[in-house]
Amino acid sequence: MKILVCITHVPDTTSKISFTDDNTKFDSSGVQYIIGPYDDYSLARAVELKESHGAQITVLNVGEADTEPTIRKALAIGADDAIRVNAFPSDSFFVAEQIANIAKENNYDLILMGRESIDFNGGMVHGMVGQLLNLPSIAPVMTLEIDGDTAKMTREIEGGKEYVEAKLPLVLGCQEPIAEWKIPNMRGIMSARTKPLNVVEPVSDGMQTETQKYELPPAKGEVKMIDADNVSELVDLLKNDAKVI
């Protein structure tokens, strides 16, 4: 089985988000970068499938050279090789085109992604890649079992889940509890240094959208504390001041 895992290189979930250059650029000073948490789940499931079924795992990132430590981490967790498409991922469709282009040349059985990236939260790339390759795309996928050429999955829906089956190849956008995040061990970290990381140039530069400016939400006002023995004051405030109940 050949599995492609597409990973993002994103600010750690505890990062303070701020912007520079008159709010036109993300301020990356002091920010730690990680594999997108959802992508990390996909990668963990891919590694489990490799252990149980045998698989060749390729990780793919569309990003500039600064993403390589994040890609190496994915190799340390258990991917066999990596591809970096050398371009800044400024538009989802552009990213989807790059991924589809690599996939067309490689016949992957599974293309695993996260349900969404945690920077732009688009939740779009897997659907776009599915359509570009004319393959089914399914998201958000909570569990994944492979039985021969069939994938059995559960997909989260509002208020529950549904059981889904489809033949490989497939494009999936994954989330928990598909697998537990894996922490690379020493051997993984050592071997990651020598695993192949191929850099390729992007196939097009067609941007459909352009981010012009960023904004931060207005600062939250002071919290009003209410005595635990006087909860009716809270009800009164919610009813008559906030008017939400």
Partner 1 sequence: MSVLVFVEAEAGKIKKTSLEAVSYGKLIDQGDVTAIALGTVEESELKSLGSSGASNVMHVADDRLNKGVINAYASAIAEAYEKVGAKTLVLATSSLGSPVSARVAVKVGASLVSNVVELPDTSDGFKVKRSIYTGKAFAIVDVKSENKILALKKNAVPISEDGSEASVESFTPSLSDEDFGVTITNQEKATGDVLLPEADIVVSGGRGLKGPENWNVVENLAKSLGAATGCSKPVSDMDWRPHHEHVGQTGVKVSPSLYVAVGISGAIQHLAGVNSSKYIVVINKDPEAPFFKAADYGIVGDAFEVLPKLTEAVEAAK
Ligand X SMILES: Nc1ncnc2c1ncn2[C@@H]1O[C@H](COP(=O)(O)O)[C@@H](O)[C@H]1O
Ligand Y SMILES: Cc1cc2nc3c(=O)[nH]c(=O)nc-3n(C[C@H](O)[C@H](O)[C@H](O)COP(=O)(O)OP(=O)(O)OC[C@H]3O[C@@H](n4cnc5c(N)ncnc54)[C@H](O)[C@@H]3O)c2cc1C
Residue 63 sits in the site that holds ligand X (CB under 6 A): yes
| Sign of the alpha-carbon torsion through 167, 112, 194, 181 | negative
- Identify the CA nearest to 183 among candidates 76, 29, 39: 76
Residue 237 sits in the site that holds ligand X (CB under 6 A): no
Residue 210 sits in the site that holds partner 1 (CB under 8 A): yes
Residue 183 sits in the site that holds partner 1 (CB under 8 A): no
Half-sphere exposure at residue 156, Cβ-oriented, CA atoms within 13 angstroms = 15
Q: Which is nearer to partner 1, 118 or 189 (CB)?
A: 118
Nearest approach in angstroms of CB 217 to partner 1 is 7
Binding region for partner 1 (CB under 8 A) out of 45-53, 55-63, 66-74, 92-100: 92-100
Site for ligand Y in 66-95 (CB under 6 A): none
Residue 82 sits in the site that holds partner 1 (CB under 8 A): no
| Cα separation values, 143 from 9, 11, 43, 128, 173, Å | 24, 26, 13, 21, 11
The total of other beta-carbon atoms located within 10 Å of residue 240's CB is 9
In 203-226, which positions are buried (b, 16+ CB within 10 angstroms) versus exposed (e)?
eeeeeeeeeeebeeeeeeeeeeee
Residue 219 sits in the site that holds partner 1 (CB under 8 A): no
Residue 89 sits in the site that holds ligand X (CB under 6 A): yes
Site for partner 1 in 120-139 (CB under 8 A): 120-128, 130-132, 136-139
Tokens of 122: 């688009």
* Helices 92-104 and 125-133, packing angle to 10 deg: 40
Q: Which is nearer to ligand Y, 210 or 227 (CB)?
A: 227
Return d(Cα 146, Cα 159) in angstroms, integer. 26
Among 77, 111, 125, 146, binds ligand X (CB under 6 A): 125
In the block, which residue shows the tokens 């990356």?
Answer: 28
Residue 37 sits in the site that holds ligand X (CB under 6 A): no
Binding region for ligand X (CB under 6 A) out of 34-42, 150-158, 164-172, 187-195: 34-42
**Residues interacting with ligand Y, by CB under 6 A?**
13, 37
